[in-house]
Structure 1
Amino acid sequence: MNPLKLPEQQALEYERAEILQQLEDWLDLPMLVLSFIWLALFTIELISGLNPLLEGVNFTIWLVFIVEFGVKLLLAPRKLAYLKAQWLTAISLLLPALRTLRIVRIARVLQTTRAVRGLQLLRVLTGTNRSMRSLTANFKRRGFGYVLLLTALVTLTGAAGMYAFERETPDAAGFDSYGTALWWTAMLMTTMGSEYFPKTAEGRILCFLLAIYAFAVFGYVTATLATFFIGQDADDDGAELAGQKSLDALRDEIAALRTDIHRLDRDNPR
């Protein structure tokens, strides 16, 4: 529909939506890189903490994300609808600010580790979601490579979260290093599992979400591998399944027979 024929308000919304889409297309790749760096810094923070230099980089990237979100919100023709669609992104940008608020300071003074771990769990989920959205936006066709990258992202971040939640369990049965947590998470992602069961509530919630993701991805990977091997058999004339080359040859022979029959009927009319 021609925007010039629309009412003035609708024409303005159409123009702003076009500008917003162009801006998102232009920022997709840079935001993807920054999202990965931000998530990597958060993973390091969960494992061992950040030094002043990395804290500065983390803070700068956070400011860039806030400016990007603010500009997109200003350009959005329907701001409430945009906020509803991007509510997880908004939370992921709000959570780092809570670290400087008095409520978090009070929680640390009172040693309410449950509140701190709950905040960390929210940051794991929302931060991973932001990187997943950036990754999705840059993969026009979501294939096997997209699933592998996404799974690696979820595994690395999930392992950092599990290590942060389970390393100080009362009975000292938790993870003693990030490598151990990564191995445990990798076993969970392959649906093999291990003998350890999370002790903290946050660890159990994260374990449940990781298991759901692993269950969904495992079916996709299985189907993809089956399709690959069936395709390999289709190119092999000696395979158990009918090869694609054999099927093509049979189809050509049938077409040739039909041509011969039509020619005989034409040469020998009844």
Structure 2
Amino acid sequence: MFGWRDGSREMAVGRWERLTAGPLTLLSVVFLAAYAWPILVPQLPDRWVVVCEATGLVIWLLFWADLLVRFALAADRLRFLRTHLFDLTVLVLPFLRPLRALRLVTVVLNLTRRTTEWARGRLALYVGATTVLLVLVSALAVLDAERGAPDASITSFADALWWAVVTITTVGYGDLFPVTTAGRLVALGLMVGGIGLIGFVTGSLATWIVERVADRDRPQPATAADVAALRDEIAALRARLEPGRRAEPEPLDVDD
């Protein structure tokens, strides 16, 4: 790779990202399933728990490999580190056992990384799907952290899902809340990420409603058929007012 020009490196990065887009998305889904299965099925045999943990670890290492390859191909590696500092932090912190749920953030990033140039309508759909994904991931992470803790109020997936929805919408009933450090970190991430996502969704919905009302009240532009019919009526009126003149419609201007 020595002697590469910046343009060649950018093309190489683009080819790598196009090549890995599908596999990384599939790996993210598998990672999420492997993480969720032992949480949703507490009675899962130990051998399957080990299989799920090993699967998650291998996929997480593949995420590391993807980041390292993109770093090696980058034309400006210092700039790459600055712009991918969050990705790097998310990959490093799960080395600490209490923060292993942060691996789920990597899943969310990989599932949503290549959708930045969408039209507003598709972008709203994308943000809505990301919001649902964030709620599900947060519910799994907080249940993983809270289940089995003394005085825990979140002990089932239904409780965790209800807590995640209440938290991301900033309602905050207070009936369910995390008591562990890991659970509170999940809550912090959900609060920070949820404010922007929910704000975008509600803002887009309000804009759509206003536009629909405005379009309904806005007069429709005249069509060529409307103009032709109007000219026929004018020609007929002239014929009545001027006896002996034939009621011939005026020629239709193509430019109209």
- The amino acid of 1:179's aligned partner reads A
Residue matched to 2:156:
177
1:149 and 1:64 mapped to 2: Cα distance? 25
Instruction: Give the conservation status (yes or no) of the 8 Å contact 2:9–2:75.
Output: yes
Deviation, 1:59, is 4.0
Structure 1 residue matching 2:171: 3-state secondary structure: coil
Deviation, 1:52, is 4.0
Q: Give me the identity figure in percent.
A: 26
User: Equivalent residues in 2 for 1:80-99 (5 A)?
Assistant: 80-94=78-92, 98=95
User: Equivalent residues in 2 for 1:115-264 (5 A)?
Assistant: 116-117=97-98, 119-120=99-100, 123-124=101-102, 126-141=103-118, 143-170=123-150, 172-194=151-173, 195-236=175-216, 243-244=217-218, 246=219, 248=221
1:67 and 1:129 mapped to 2: Cα distance? 13
Deviation, 1:177, is 1.0
Instruction: Show structure 1 runs of 5+ residues with no match.
Output: 1-7, 99-114, 237-242, 254-270
Instruction: Show structure 2 runs of 5+ residues with no match.
Output: 228-256
Instruction: Give the conservation status (yes or no) of the 8 Å contact 2:13–2:74.
Output: yes
TM-score by length of 2: 0.69
Give deviations 1:152-200, integer Å, cap 9, x for gaps.
1111111112112222333x24212122111111122233222233322
2:198 and 2:91 mapped to 1: Cα distance? 31
Residue matched to 1:14:
7
Higher helix share: 1
Deviation, 1:150, is 0.8
1:75 and 1:162 mapped to 2: Cα distance? 37
TM-score by length of 1: 0.66
- The amino acid of 1:74's aligned partner reads A
Residue matched to 1:42:
35
Alignment equivalent of 2:63, drawn from 62, 65, 80: 65
2:199 and 2:221 mapped to 1: Cα distance? 31
Deviation, 1:216, is 2.4
User: Aligned pairs, how many?
Assistant: 215
1:19 and 1:186 mapped to 2: Cα distance? 41
User: Equivalent residues in 2 for 1:17-32 (5 A)?
Assistant: 17-32=10-25
